[in-house]
Amino acid sequence: MVSTQLKLPIADSATLEFLTSSKYKTHIRKNQPSLIVDDSELIFYRKRIISLTKEMFNAEFKNDKIKGFFKEYARQLIGYFKDIDTNDVIQKQHIPTDDIPKEPINPTVSPLNITDELSLIRKSVSVPGLDNFVIKKTQNKGRNKLIVPQIIDVNLRDPVFKLKGINR
């Protein structure tokens, strides 16, 4: 029996997951290493991980594989930080909801009274005549104004964001 380590792209691994027999799936799962890191391992290797990370920030890489992992990790974190900062800037521009009253405008009318009134009102059905078939051309002047979203220029290089979220 030949043991092969399968390192496949996402599409191939999805194909294997959904289109293989259950017997072969168990064989594949046994041969693939687990991607989950235990908390006990993180605690045990914590000082070595921090030391190696500091070395990589000083451009001292042990090998190219570790360098690639570090660059991908840093790219993911930078994208995460940019998303958080952009969301914070956009949220500061919105009107706070504290100004909106939480009570109904007319407290004397209860929701039950409104539904009773609506159910008792009968709508008259109009029968279309020949006058309704005439097509009238009217211009919509200011009726349907299109609200276009604004493009916000967010300065993500602002010094405020450099140390945001760091506990000292």
Contacts (Cβ under 8 Å, ≥6 apart) of 28:
6, 16, 20
Q: Encode pLDDT of 8-30 as tens digits.
A: 566 676 777 777 777 777 777 77
Per residue in 48-72, pLDDT tens?
Answer: 999 999 999 998 888 899 999 999 9
Q: Look at residue 76 and tell me whether its pLDDT is greater than 90.
A: yes
Would you say 85 and 156 are in contact if contact means Cβ atoms under 8 Å apart?
yes
User: Taking the model in full, what pTM does it have?
Assistant: 0.49
